[in-house]
Chain A
Amino acid sequence: MADRKELFDNIKSFFVSNMVTIVFVILGIVGFYYSGLSLPFFVNELSIRITRNSLLVLALIIPVLAGMGLNFAIVLGAMAGQVAIIAVTHWGIIGVRGFMLAMLLSVPLAIVFGYLTGKLLNKTKGKEMITSLILGFFANGIYQLVFLILIGTLIPMDNPVMVLSSGVGLRVSLDLTGGLKYAIDHIWMMSIPWTALTMSTYTMLFVLIRFYINKAGKMTKKVKNTHLYILAVAVIVALGNIYRINMIDENSAFLWALLATISLPILYIAMKLYFDQSEKMTKKSAQKHYYFVAFALPSFLLSLYIMRTASIFNMLRVPIITVLAIAIVCVFTVYIMKTKLGQDLKTVGQDRHIATTAGIHSDKTRLTAIIISTVLASWGQLFFLQNLGTMSTYGSHEQVGMFSIAALLIGGASVSKATIGQALLGVVLFHTLFIVSPLAGRNVFGDAQLGEFFRAFVAYGVIGLSLGMHAWKKQIQSRNSLK
């Protein structure tokens, strides 16, 4: 009975602490049902939006961990990215070369913006979020001043395509077609099942290799051999992926199925070994690995299955380089948090006073966090715009902060805690709602405007709700600590 009560309490606390995320999962599912969208269309739309927006959301994580709250000032990063795009487009450098140049150009700008933002936030400790929000608006004013008035007056720019006919100020929108549009996305596209297959394979490989490295010293030879075997097979799978065996071919499909059936029992043995020895690991990290595999294995099998069918999913394509860029930023974030700098960030985030007493330059550390965030945001905006294909000169950056933060919060993050998983989950949920809500609104209420309204409401509402709930939780905690 006690066990059952404990279980019940656990479930309850799970629901309470993940309330926001759960509500949005339900909203997404219901919305999808009423939107009447076909699954492939929805998945395609969603995958585009995920690759487009993830980087911007990931840029938010490090300041949160440094205790600076949600960095609304990534708007400044976005501006740095746009300045670079305007320059590159003006010079007529196109394609990958143009994009690379834009990335390079945006870095010094973003560092300067981030530095100034960080300086300001160090002066307004405890009020970082409202400061960065207002700073975003203020910077927007300067941005407009530069590109609406100074271009053509102080800054000479002879480009009738980009500059207004009066010769002063940039046009409202900038068409990137033939320039930076799809500069990165179209380098290498892969079908969705392929991408899923590759990703899940590498995920499982990653878990296994890490496990192997962690435990290698303590293992018997027999266990080591087993692991070598697993590794060999996994490498074959990976190589197979890289050489992209023609999947339509019946025989190679058979080969794949065979590989899968061999690797399954091996995986099983590996997992078993893993759990036998995972006692020494903390419960949390063991759980994390478990989730990794539990997610990767079904998607591995599912994508194998889909590839054998003539499903329309095989026609949907994913920009691999962009996905890789997202993966690199994820790895980068994880890596940073494991370094001395990361430990400093966490320490400053948990208690600035203690950090300073221990000799950590907390202001400098906070500055670093904001600079990293701003640079990542500038690149995020570059990836965003090269996919979108048109840049609204005075508008593209405006909502970046708000939407990214809403996405992060929907994923279950809070002002003081954010993970990569939450960021990615948040992007999925937030954009699911974006895709389905206008159609669902039209179908249910007979008015697409209602869904549109709901969409905007969601973005602002979730930020308010989440901040409120965070304050509420803190209050409860302090009340409990009094007891």
Chain B
Amino acid sequence: MKNNEYVLQMKNISKEYYGNRVLKDINLSVKAGEIHAILGENGAGKSTLMNILFGMTVIHETGGYEGEIVLDNDSINIKSPVEAMDLGIGMVHQEFMLIPGYSITENIKLNREITKDNLVNKFLPDKLKTLDFKKMGTDARKALDTLGMGIDEWVKVAGMPIGYMQFIEIAREIDKKNIKLLVFDEPTAVLTESEASNLLKAMVKIKEAGIAILFITHRLDEVMEVADNVTILRDGELVATKKNNETNVMQLAELMVGRKIEKIKKSSTEKRIGETILSIENLNVMMPGEEIKGLNLEVKAGEIYGIGGLAGQGKIGIANGVMGIYPTSGEITIKGEKLKLNNPKDALNKNIAFVSEDRRGMGLLLDTSIEMNIAITAIQNKGGFIRNFVLFTQVNNKEMKSHALNMIKELDIRCRSEKQVTRRLSGGNQQKVCIARALTLEPAILFVSEPTRGIDVGAKKIVLDTLVKLNKELGMTIVMTSSELAELRSVCDKIAIISEGKVEGILSPDASDVDFGLMMAGEYKKMQSKGDDIK
């Protein structure tokens, strides 16, 4: 019956949104038992392609698509996600589609619950039949076992580690009897390293069961590890399709971004490092999970000061403490003046700006326009963009708009207009809006926490470039907190490594990997005090 070796073929797929071409002639073929990775920056068209495959309403409401989709041998036109499901196409979502109040079984069987007959409901429609929890449990158990998960199938999902939730999502998909093709949408983005490697192992298991996998991701090393073939998209166009053994990480990165990634050139020699601008003494910050216990730090004007360390050691707490977001004690001095603690307003008045690591929670007003997001802190605290009518004040929309347009151009924020709400912007563009807001305050010191978390390679580069440019051209002091050491080393003049809420040591970016490694692990001081030779 099957004379076609491909499970899925997408032929010459094109899509326009309101005259704006977002996909152009995309061809994609996946065999049974193949892991096919799709690489691309945010906005490259990956999600649109998947929306077409799943027949999301947004596609049909905007005029459908061009091209042909062939599943096994049949040309199909999927009109709704339900139809896609019926055809055997499953999706493991990036955000978890799990109901916390339900047990694992109920989640796995969501909307595919097994019903049973009894005396009362024999003649009633299926909707009115009671659920057969026993059978549902057996099925769930089987799916979990396939993935090698020992967890009890009746445990509630609420409060589970994120890695487990991901596996439950997958278990749900492989429990579907007719599943042919499984789409993983950036599944490792939220996982720890060990969870991610478990997931990759599970993907190989699923593949061995003869299911085709579409693997959407940012992480190049994962692609190299599991994918058989890679398709790279850029700006809605198909750049290349490569076999795993014909390519390498550097090439993939290059194809994806379309420009060579260079180390950002440092110009520390020309830099004028000034007096101490910020000094922190005996700082304690009660930020849950990132506590600071008696930390001392000194930052000189004109520096890019990096703060690194492992998660949970407290590096994120510093900026949050200085800004007064979490309960803080100790002494913070800005240009010789004492900072009022636990008082964000005073920090802002002392010309400190903060780009939070919690972009969506703290950084943005998600349902508000880009221009308002950029201007709001300045409006509230500095009296910027305001027309004063003595008795009352009004926001100066014209000034705000021109400033926003300026920033959008400067930082290359990709958006439809300055009026677009920030919720639907990609992570990288959201981050740029956050930075734009901080810059609007024209700060003397800029705190940036995790500036590149969850954004793609191209956007990362722009964000880091911007920081370096600000530092160089305006002499702005930047305190950058990041989990990515490589990033800190490419940008910073000095890097403090935080361990157990204290500074473990301060290194120059050129210091050896060994030193960094030891400090991150909190072993550096111990080694030193023992007088052992580190090398």
Contacts and interface: CB of A to CB of B under 8 A. Distances in A.
A343 interface: yes
B243 to A, nearest CB: 33
Interface residue tally on B, bucketed by range: 20 to 34
B110 A483 contact: no
B194 interface: no
Nearest to B91: A357
Interface stretch (A106-114, A299-307, A344-352, A446-454): A344-352
A339 B101 contact: no
Contacts of B131: 338-340, 343
A149 interface: no
Contacts of B113: 340, 343
B209 to A, nearest CB: 23
A457 interface: no
A335 interface: yes
Nearest to B127: A341
Interface stretch (B16-24, B92-100, B302-310, B402-410): B92-100
Contacts of B289: 483
A464 B86 CA distance: 46
Interface residues of A, number: 20
A65 to B, nearest CB: 11
A156 interface: no
Contact of B81 (A335, A336, A359): A359
B111 A341 contact: no
Contact of B99 (A350, A482, A483): A350
Interface in A259-273: none
B81 A357 contact: yes
B110 A358 contact: yes
Given A350-B99, A482-B361, A355 B111 contact: yes
Contacts of A465: none
A130 interface: no
A362 to B, nearest CB: 10
B106 interface: yes
A335 B289 CA distance: 45
B130 A335 contact: yes
Contacts of A87: none
Interface in B81-115: 81-82, 85, 93, 97-102, 106, 110-111, 113, 115
A415 to B, nearest CB: 15
A299 B99 CA distance: 40
A406 to B, nearest CB: 26
A93 interface: no
A354 B110 CA distance: 9
B82 A340 contact: no
B111 A483 contact: no
A350 B115 contact: no
A340 B121 CA distance: 12
Contacts of B128: 336, 339-341
B288 interface: yes
B140 to A, nearest CB: 14
A251 to B, nearest CB: 39
Contacts of B110: 347, 354, 358
Interface of A: 335-336, 338-341, 343-344, 346-347, 350-351, 354-355, 357-360, 482-483
17 contacts: A336-B128, A338-B131, A339-B128, A340-B113, A341-B128, A343-B131, A347-B110, A347-B111, A350-B99, A350-B100, A351-B99, A354-B97, A354-B110, A358-B110, A359-B81, A482-B361, A483-B288
